[in-house]
């Protein structure tokens, strides 16, 4: 189930990036809700918020390492273990890491386009990584509090 979820999110990420690059020119912005939410095409050559610009080899190696750890963790689950929030969170992080890695390998930058005007422009992969990391953190903290584990 984890790999199905990761595949769906990855396809959604790559499809939205493909569509946006066909519809907008670099730095062009299309208001969806004027002043609140725009579609703005950006080429991000850095990490989150554009930090560490032009460090593509570092991001590629880090992504490959993280993807390997996640796949190992997902495969290491016992067959009898049902799909849970922990696996779901790893699925989201895996999809996001793969989506941005594909961009970096093929283009040398990440395509960002979701623009809420009060936050740096981002994409579906970034959202998946963020939501997955929050859920993963919550799951780990909740398991530490649970007396049964």
Distance CA 36, CA 52 (A): 27
Q: Which residue has the tokens 């922990």?
A: 86
CA distance 69 to 27: 35
Matching residue, tokens 């930058």? 109
The DSSP code sequence of 83-96 is P-HHHHHHHHHHHH
The Cα 144–Cα 139 span in angstroms is 9
Residues serving a catalytic function are 112, 126
User: Which of 32, 27, 23, 3 minimizes the C-alpha distance to 94?
Assistant: 3
């Amino acid at each position: 189930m984890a790999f199905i979820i990761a595949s769906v999110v990855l396809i959604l990420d790559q499809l939205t990036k493909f569509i946006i690059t066909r519809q907008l020119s670099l730095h062009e912005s299309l208001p969806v809700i004027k002043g609140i939410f725009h579609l703005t095409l950006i080429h991000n050559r850095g990490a989150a918020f554009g930090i560490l610009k032009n460090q593509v080899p570092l991001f590629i190696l880090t992504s490959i390492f993280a993807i390997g750890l996640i796949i190992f963790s997902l495969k290491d689950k016992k067959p009898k273990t049902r799909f849970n929030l922990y696996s779901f969170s790893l699925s989201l992080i895996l999809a996001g890491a793969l989506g941005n890695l594909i961009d970096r390998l093929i283009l040398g930058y990440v395509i960002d386009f979701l623009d809420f005007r009060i936050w740096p422009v981002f994409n579906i992969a970034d959202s998946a990584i963020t939501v997955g990391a929050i859920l993963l953190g919550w799951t780990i903290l909740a398991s530490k509090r649970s007396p049964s584990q």
